[in-house]
A = this chain, B = another copy of it.
């Protein structure tokens, strides 16, 4: 299992990226990591650790794609960018997976232009896990298609169901459209037309879900366009962490609170974990010919480690082949 990692992508690159890869190869001896990026910088980081030489390889790339660049242009022009070279390793079958904490737009552009879509898939989609009271919910699409057609949402539903069933082990996952009301007639044109299509599919489609019911875990897979999905994803993180900070401030503002807080510390810390994106690994871009995973922009080493380990599970469970089979079967 070879994982190509963009060493230059993300807020804490290359330090935390390199460190996370070291942690991953130490944890799983069957994984080899190819670090792609500025050789000198990567080697400087690698020198800090003891690790099995055979598990880490460095591929030099002189350029970096910035989050502010126009994605398609950057992927096409910067032939020597770390992201482009890492994508090419997957395309040439020298790597089994691609990971980057860099620009979502560039990952989408590279995934589509260099790796390519599975035949029959209209658009790839980013699927992210968010916490609910009972476990996790898969939100798809979270970042690829800010504008979507109803038929895309149908494919997102199938890909999301396959992913969740295999990775999380939820049998026959409940699929819903996130909407502003439960009735079939509610919502915008996209939601209404997608509802009519999803009803006819061989899926456990339960209809619309209102946002207030997401955290109750009423649905396992929630489909939406990436504008809505990305807002829900980022709001989960922001609201979850702000709430915990607000609670901490309340606790620290009185002696009574401080005593209670001290006693509750382990409970609060377990709780915080549920809203910690670093626990969930990265978000796969489903629907591509190869495995492409987007890691959170502010990923630390622990998040990168989890993302690398996750790739192993993804390939060994043949998610891509199952999506292919589902599409061809129709």
Contacts and interface: CB of A to CB of B under 8 A. Distances in A.
A264 B260 contact: yes
Interface in A181-240: 183, 185, 187-189, 191, 210-216, 225-228, 230-240
A234 B263 contact: no
A178 B146 CA distance: 13
A191 B230 CA distance: 14
27 contacts: A68-B183, A70-B185, A146-B188, A178-B231, A180-B226, A180-B227, A180-B234, A210-B234, A211-B235, A212-B235, A212-B238, A214-B238, A214-B239, A215-B239, A215-B243, A239-B240, A247-B268, A251-B267, A254-B267, A256-B263, A256-B266, A256-B267, A257-B267, A260-B262, A260-B263, A263-B263, A264-B264
Interface string A118-134: 00000000000000110
Interface residues of A, number: 59
Given A212-B237, A214-B238, A226-B180, A250 B270 contact: yes
Nearest to A253: B267
A113 interface: no
B216 A242 contact: yes
Interface of A: 68, 70, 132-133, 143, 146-147, 178, 180, 183, 185, 187-189, 191, 210-216, 225-228, 230-240, 242-243, 245-247, 250-251, 254, 256-257, 259-264, 266-268, 270-271, 274
